[in-house]
Amino acid sequence: MTKLDTAEFMRQKFILELNGALAMENAGLERLQTRISETIVPEAKQQMQHHLEESKVHIERLHQLITTLGGQPYQGKVGLPLPKYPQPMIEKMNNSMTKPEWELKRSEEDLISESAESICYLMLIQKAQMLGGVFQNTIEQLSLNMIDEENMAEWIKTNTPAMLDKLWPQIEEDIASTPLESSPATSSQSR
C-alpha cells in the first residue's frame, strides 16, 4: 500500500468513526426527546431540554466534520449502551416499579448513555491526535461535544441526591400502600 493509499484508507476509517458518533448522537437525540416527555422532575426536564439543544449542535458539528473530510453523514442510529434486562426481570420491574422508581432507573440509564458518549468523543480526539495532519482540525469540535457530554453526566451525578430526596418519600408512600401479597419480595419468596 502506498503512502497515498494509506492516507486515503485512514481518512475513510476516521469518517466511519465520525459517522458512528453521529449515529450515537441521532439515537441520543431521540432518547432525550422521550425522556423530556416522560420525566416527572422539572429540573431534570429543564436540563434535558438544554442538552437536547446541545445535541442538535453536536449533530451539526459532526455533519460539518464528515463533509469537510469528504464523507457522507450517516442518518441512522445505533443502539445506545443501556442495560438489557432478562425478560422475567423486566416483567417484574414493569409490574412492581412505581413512576418515581422508574424515574430513578431512567436517570441511571441517562448517566450511562452520557458517559458513553463522552468516552466516544475522547477516543475520537485521541485518534485524531495520533493521525495528525488534517485530522487534528477535528479536535476542537470533538472536544466541544465531549465537554457537553461530560457536563451532562456530571449534572446527573451532582443532582441525583436531590432527586432521591424528592422522589424517595413518594416511593415509600407507594410501597406502604401496596398490599403485601403483591410486593416483589413476597412474590419471589412464595416460589
For the stretch 135-144, pLDDT in tens is 999 999 999 9
Grid coordinates representing 31 are 432518547
Question: Does pLDDT of 172 surpass 70?
Answer: yes
Grid coordinates representing 136 are 487534528
Domain-wise residue ranges, the chain: 3-82+98-176
Prediction pTM value: 0.88
Cα(35)–Cα(39) distance, integer angstroms: 6
Locus of grid cell 461530560? 150
Grid coordinates representing 140 are 476542537
With a pLDDT cut of 70, the percent of the chain lying above it is 92
| Per-residue pLDDT at 123 | 98
CATH class for the region spanning 3-82+98-176:
mainly alpha
Cα(25)–Cα(31) distance, integer angstroms: 10
